[in-house]
Structure 1
Amino acid sequence: MRMYLLALNPTDSVTDGFLPAAARLGLDVTILTDQPAAHRQATPEAEVLECDVHDFRAVLTRIATHHGADAVFTNSDHLQTQAALAADYLGLPGKDWRVALRAKNKAEMRRHLAAAGIDPVRSAELAPGQDPSALTAAGLPYPCVVKPREGVASEDVRLAVDGEELVAHAKEIQARRPQAALVAEEYLAGDLHSLETLGDGRIRHVLGGFRTTVSAPPSFIEERHGFTAAHPEPVTAQVLAQLDALGVGFGACHTEFVVHEGRARLIEVNYRIIGDQSDLLLEQVLGIPLFEQILRTHLGEPLPADLGARRDGAGRLEYARADRAGTLTAAPTATDREEEGVRLVYRPLRALGAAHPLYRTNRDYLGVLRATGTDQAAVDRAVDRFFATERWEITP
C-alpha cells in the first residue's frame, strides 16, 4: 500500500514518528515536498519527490504521474486543506477540506463558532497590505492579541495594551510577512491547556492533554508542557462541543484553549497531532502505537473502542531557550538515560557554532527534554535537576 505524505520542512513528528510508524505498517511512502533536499538529507532512505504542495492541483498531478495512492496524509498545519482535497478527489479516507480550512483560518474559525452561537470572540481581520489603523476602528477591547490568520507555534503573536501598540505590532508583522492576512481578537484570560484527540469519523478518543507554560507577554512562547491525563469533565465537554461545532472528528487534533473560572475558550485548533516532540512524549506516556493508529485512520481502518492506553503515565517536556542573540558555544549533547524510574530524552535543536538572532518564537529553542515515568513528582525532580546541572552558553 502506498501513502503520499505532504510536507514542507522536515519535522521530528515525521522523521521520528510517522515514517518509522509507516515502515512498521509495511507502507510504501512517497514524500511530496517543496523542500526535497532537506528531506533527502533527513531521511535518505525515503522516496522524495519535489512538488508545489501548497497547490492541491499540483499534488494530484504528481500522484497521477507516479503510482496509485492508498492514502494521502500530512501532519503540516499549512497543508491540511490541500491533503484533504486531494484525498477527497481520489476517493480516499481523509478530513473534510472545509473543516480543515476553518480550523486553520483563525478568522473563519471565529466566524463559524459565532454563527453557531458558541463562545463568540470579538475579532477583526486585516488583509495583506491593508493599513493596520483599520484595526483600531473595529471596537476591540484592550488588551487584545494580533497574529497571522494562518499562523502557527505562537510565531508573531503579540499582545497589545492599546491602539498604538496594536498598530505598531501589526506593522512589524506585516514587514516580516507582507503576504499574510492578520487577525486581532480580544485577549482570552486563563491558564493555557491543550486537548489531544483521535477520531475516525465514527468514534473519537480523548488522549489527554497538556498544561502549557508560556513566556511573559507581549510574546507567547511555549516553555513547558506538562502531561494531563484528564481535564475536569465539564472543561473537556466544553472543548468537545466546540470541536463538534467546527466539524472536527477525523484523525488527530491538537486543540489549545484557556480555562478561566471554569469556562473553556478556544485559542486555536491545529488539525494534526501536537508537535515539537510533545507527540513523541504523548506516545511514550500512553504506551500505545499512536503514530500507527493515526496512519491507520487515513488508510480507512476503524479505531478500536479501546486504544489500550495506560492510565498511570506522567510526563513533562521542557525547552532550553536562547535569551539573547549570538553564537551557541556550549550545550549538552543528545542524551538518553533513566534515573529514579524516569526516562530522560534530550535532543539538541541548535548546532554548536550556530549564530542566530533572538526571534522571540520557538525558533529560539536550543534543545528539548522529554521526561516520562509513573510518578509526576519524580518526573519534575528529574527535569529540574537536568536543567540545574547542564549549561547552554551563547556568545554575543
Structure 2
Amino acid sequence: MRMYLIALNPTDSVTEGFLPAAHALGLDVTLLTDRAEPHRRAVEAAGRDAVGDIEILECDVRDHHALITRVATHHRPDAVFTNSDHLQAPAALAAAYFGLPGKDWRAALRTKDKAETRRHLAAAGLDAVRSVELAAGQDPEGLLDRPVPYPCVVKPREGVASEDVVIVAAPDELLARCREIQARRPGAALVAEEYLPGELHTLETLGDGRRLHVVGGFRTRLSPPPYFVETRMTYVPRHPDPVTAQVLAQLDCLGVGFGASHTEFVVHDGRARIIEVNYRAVGDQGDLLLRDLLGFPLFEHVLRTHLGEPLPDHLRLRRDAAARVDYVCAPTAGTLAAAPAPADLTADGVRLAYRPLRATGTRHPLHHTNRDYVGVLRTTGPDQPSVDRAADAFLATRRWEFTP
C-alpha cells in the first residue's frame, strides 16, 4: 500500500515518528515536499533500518491542485497524510478527491483560520471571544474605530508556534505591534482578540471519524509576557471531566474527530475556553513523549485511521506514570558557543532523553517563538516528584553558553 506523506520542513514528528511507523506498517512512502534536500538529509541521518526506503519528490504542497496533479500522475494512492499545520486543508482536499479517508477539509480550514474558529463557535453559542480581524495589507489605523478589547492578543490569523503572538495593553501599542508583524509578514491577515485569563492546558485526542479517544493532555508553562513561548509541558493523564466535556463539545462543533488533534485551552473559574486547535499531533517532541510514556503505538494508530482502519474501542494506555518536556530557550540573539551533547539516562526508574535542537557555533536572532529552542529534555518516571527532581537536576548541572 502506498501512502503519500505531505510535509514542509523536516520535523521530529515525521522523521522519528511517522516515517518509522509507516515502515513498521509495511507501507510504501512517497514524501511530497517543497524542501526535498533537507528531507533527504534527515532520512539519511535516520537510517534505512528506521524509516525504510523513502521516495522524496518536489511539489508545491500548499497548492491542493498541484498536490492532486502530482499524485494523479504518479503511483495510485492508498492514503494521503500530513502532520503539518499549514497543509491540513490541501491534504484533506487531495484525500477527498481520490476518495480516501481523511479529515473534512472544512474542519481543517475552520481550525487553521483563527478568526473562523471564533466565528463558528460564537454562532453555535458555545463561546464568544471578542475579536477583530485585520486583512492582509490593511492599515492598522482602521482598528482604532473598532471595538478592540484591552488587553488583547495580536496574532497572525493562520499562524503557528506562537509566531508573532503578543499581548498589548493600549491602542498605540496595538498599532506598533501590527505594523511590526506586517513588515515581517506582508501577506498575513491578523487577529486581535481579548486576552483569555487562566492556566494553559492541552487536550490530545485521536479519532477515526466515528469515535474520539482522549489520550490525555498537558499543563503548559509559558515565558513571561508579552510573548507566549512554551517552556515546559507537564503530562496530565486526565483533566477534570467537566473541563474535558466543554473542550470536546467545542471540538465537535468545529468538526474535529479524525486522526490526531492538539487543542490548547485555558481554564478560568471552571470554564474551558479554546485558544487554538492544531489539527495534528502535538509537536516539539511531545508526541514522542506520549508514545514512550503511554506504551501504545501513537503514530501507527494515526496512520491506520488514514488507511481507513477503525481505532480500537478502548486504547490500552499506561496511566501509572508521569512525564514532562522542558525546552531550553536562547535568552538572547547570538551564537550558541557551548551546549550539552545528546544524552539518554536512567536513574531510580526515571528516564531522561536530551536532544540538542541547534548546533553549536551557529548564530541566530531572537524570535520569541519555539525557533529559540536550543534543546529539549523529555523526562518520564513513576511519579511527578521523581520526574521533577530528575529534570531539574539535569537542567541545573548543564550549561548552555551564548556569545553576542
Q: Structures share a fold, TM > 0.5?
A: yes
CA distance in 2, matches of 1:384, 1:83: 41
Equivalent in the alignment of 1:104:
112
Equivalent in the alignment of 1:213:
221
String of CA shifts for 1:67-88, please: whole Å, max 9, x gaps: 0000000000000000000000
From 284, 307, 318, the equivalent of 2:315 is 307
Equivalent in the alignment of 2:337:
329
Equivalent in the alignment of 1:290:
298
What stretches of structure 2 of length at least 5 have no aligned partner?
45-52
TM score, norm. by length of structure 2: 0.97
* RMSD (Å), alpha carbons: 0.7
Question: Which range moved further: 131-140 or 284-293?
Answer: 131-140
Equivalent in the alignment of 2:149:
141
CA distance in 1, matches of 2:121, 2:240: 22
CA distance in 2, matches of 1:133, 1:241: 37
From 183, 186, 200, the equivalent of 1:175 is 183
Equivalent in the alignment of 2:85:
77
TM score, norm. by length of structure 1: 0.99
What stretches of structure 1 of length at least 5 have no aligned partner?
none
1:52 aligns with 2:60: yes
Q: State the 1:136 CA deviation.
A: 2.5
CA distance in 2, matches of 1:84, 1:96: 6
CA distance in 2, matches of 1:30, 1:368: 29
Q: State the 1:135 CA deviation.
A: 2.1
Q: State the 1:305 CA deviation.
A: 0.7
**Contact kept? 2:28, 2:54, Cα under 8 Å:** no
Q: State the 1:125 CA deviation.
A: 0.7
CA distance in 2, matches of 1:211, 1:153: 16
CA distance in 2, matches of 1:368, 1:132: 37
Alignment of 1:354-373 (within 5 A): 354-373=362-381
From 101, 124, 127, the equivalent of 1:119 is 127
Which one-letter code corresponds to 2:303 in the other structure? L
**Contact kept? 1:254, 1:272, Cα under 8 Å:** yes
Q: State the 1:324 CA deviation.
A: 1.1
Equivalent in the alignment of 2:254:
246
Equivalent in the alignment of 1:226:
234
1:351 aligns with 2:356: no
String of CA shifts for 1:168-199, please: whole Å, max 9, x gaps: 11111000000111111000000000000000
Which one-letter code corresponds to 2:153 in the other structure? V
String of CA shifts for 1:231-273, please: whole Å, max 9, x gaps: 0010000000000111111110000000001000000000000
String of CA shifts for 1:279-313, please: whole Å, max 9, x gaps: 10011111100000000000000000111111112
Q: State the 1:137 CA deviation.
A: 2.2
1:32 aligns with 2:40: no
**Secondary structure of 1:381's partner?**
helix
Equivalent in the alignment of 1:23:
23
| Count of aligned positions | 396
Equivalent in the alignment of 1:7:
7
**Contact kept? 1:335, 1:347, Cα under 8 Å:** yes
CA distance in 2, matches of 1:313, 1:92: 37
1:271 aligns with 2:279: yes
**Contact kept? 2:260, 2:302, Cα under 8 Å:** yes
CA distance in 2, matches of 1:320, 1:336: 17
**Contact kept? 2:111, 2:278, Cα under 8 Å:** yes
Q: State the 1:64 CA deviation.
A: 1.1
1:195 aligns with 2:203: yes
CA distance in 1, matches of 2:306, 2:321: 27
Quote the sequence identity (%): 69
CA distance in 2, matches of 1:313, 1:68: 43
String of CA shifts for 1:315-348, please: whole Å, max 9, x gaps: 0000111101111111000001101211100000
CA distance in 1, matches of 2:34, 2:307: 24
Equivalent in the alignment of 2:94:
86
Which one-letter code corresponds to 2:31 in the other structure? I
**Contact kept? 2:111, 2:279, Cα under 8 Å:** yes
**Secondary structure of 2:275's partner?**
strand
**Secondary structure of 2:87's partner?**
helix
String of CA shifts for 1:188-225, please: whole Å, max 9, x gaps: 00000000000001111000000000011111000000
Equivalent in the alignment of 1:387:
395
